[in-house]
Structure 1
């Protein structure tokens, strides 16, 4: 999967600033930015502030809160100068994204209290695209950003939003800035960075629809895999994530995670859920490892961590897994992770186990 982040930040900023410079001589202070309560001028300053804030979070590796600083423009700075600041802060964010290792995460509150370099890039791009739209509306300009950038933002920050034929109208609708036929108006929204769950020697990194699409198509999903990876089960699971996303039923925390070794950042397998918990609070887990990573306890560590995260939630009452009856290593994994066999026989399955499978269950 092609590296993503810095180049896209620069593209978004360059396109936005080029358009807004054509109106730099107008009254930005006295005109509201689209549907916002803010003026066009304040909105431009807000974009610059967000870009430098994201660069600061990522560069400073902030873990618990926002780094306590703000940007302010010199008194008397005109609208053209404000656009210069947006260009500068955009360049800073792009540079930080390019130089930050992929495993680094920093604080952001929505929704899992952290984001990686791709997440901060996507949030910066979203701020640029959406607020350029707002300013353009206020100033009577026509703005339509590159379709690829809009799709990238949707697949990275809005995995819970069903895509449509064109990405830009969907992004505007998802952020309360437009209407779409057959969809109710959006009055409140938040984007969603992927969840990361620590698991001893591993980190379980949530897979975005963008990464799932690449994995399902035979790519690496943006992960550095050990030899032989990703395993076929991971690609199949990625296809399930992509199908759920395209159907509008994907809930990212109940999707797929890639197992990444802490020591070297290499991916060794996949784990995740077959969907959100049902009405009884039951959720099914599944996992696989590349052959070269087996026999080292990675699957057990990952399953324990994922299970603990799930059972700590109010909407989960039990977890279960189905294992082929001749897959002894996998049976040992679920047993070591605390699961108890509850169904399945050699002749046929019981309690969600299919033919030739055993069912295992874990309670809080």
Structure 2
């Protein structure tokens, strides 16, 4: 599986070579990037993915994905897992979009697809967080089915447990 398809998006699973291009902010000949991509969060996510690959090998479906619009195949952001499931069989998710496409429901659409993938892999649930002031990201997690699980002085935490047999 190299991509997850939604109505409007393709979540393209990154290869290490693609992640290296994102870290270097140097597109390859076939890459189509929206203005502002990759952003700092995309670079950090690609670095984390590469570090995980170096330490533990290919994470398979629990890696990083580039969010592309299906209509024109332009990359508009990133989404993915922060590594394989933990000992409780939970994954941690993260995502981000370029400013020019925010507010169009892409983040919610992409996160729902990623959570569906995790559920299909037999994962117990997912965790995520958003800065206290990032109300848009908080709304995305809630719209995708994640629920408020607490906060500290910096972030709000969200969690979704998958029912057994779902």
Q: Secondary structure at the match of 2:10?
A: strand
Unpaired segments of 5 or more residues in structure 2? none
Greater helix share, structure number: 1
> Out of 138, 146, 164, which is 1:331 matched to?
138
Q: Secondary structure at the match of 1:308?
A: helix
> Out of 107, 112, 128, which is 1:299 matched to?
107
> Out of 246, 251, 254, which is 2:54 matched to?
246
- Tell me which residue corresponds to 1:269: 77
- Tell me which residue corresponds to 1:358: 156
- Tell me which residue corresponds to 1:341: 148
TM-score, with structure 1 as normaliser: 0.43
Question: Following TM superposition, by how much is the alpha carbon of 1:317 offset from its aligned partner in structure 2, in angstroms?
Answer: 0.1
> Out of 128, 131, 137, which is 1:321 matched to?
128
Alignment of 1:198 onto 2:5: yes
Give 1 or 2 for the bigger CA radius of gyration.
Answer: 1
Alignment of 1:286 onto 2:94: yes
Question: Following TM superposition, by how much is the alpha carbon of 1:234 offset from its aligned partner in structure 2, in angstroms?
Answer: 0.6
Count of residues in Structure 1 that have an aligned counterpart in Structure 2: 161
C-alpha distance in 1 between matches for 2:114 and 2:27: 22
Greater relative CO, 1 or 2 (CA 8 Å, sep 6+): 2
CA contact (8 A) 1:225 1:266 kept: yes
Greater strand share, structure number: 2
TM-score, with structure 2 as normaliser: 0.92
Unpaired segments of 5 or more residues in structure 1? 1-111, 113-194, 349-354
Question: Following TM superposition, by how much is the alpha carbon of 1:298 offset from its aligned partner in structure 2, in angstroms?
Answer: 0.4
Question: Following TM superposition, by how much is the alpha carbon of 1:223 offset from its aligned partner in structure 2, in angstroms?
Answer: 2.6
CA RMSD of aligned residues (A): 1.3
List aligned pairs for 1:1-364, cutoff 5 A: 112=1, 195-220=2-27, 222-314=30-122, 316-344=123-151, 348=152, 355-364=153-162
CA contact (8 A) 1:277 1:283 kept: yes
Question: Following TM superposition, by how much is the alpha carbon of 1:274 offset from its aligned partner in structure 2, in angstroms?
Answer: 0.4
Per-residue CA deviation, residues 176-201 of structure 1 (Å, 9 max, x unaligned), is xxxxxxxxxxxxxxxxxxx2111220
- Tell me which residue corresponds to 1:77: none
- Of stretches 230-239 and 244-253 in structure 1, the one that deviates more from structure 2 is 244-253
CA contact (8 A) 1:220 1:230 kept: no
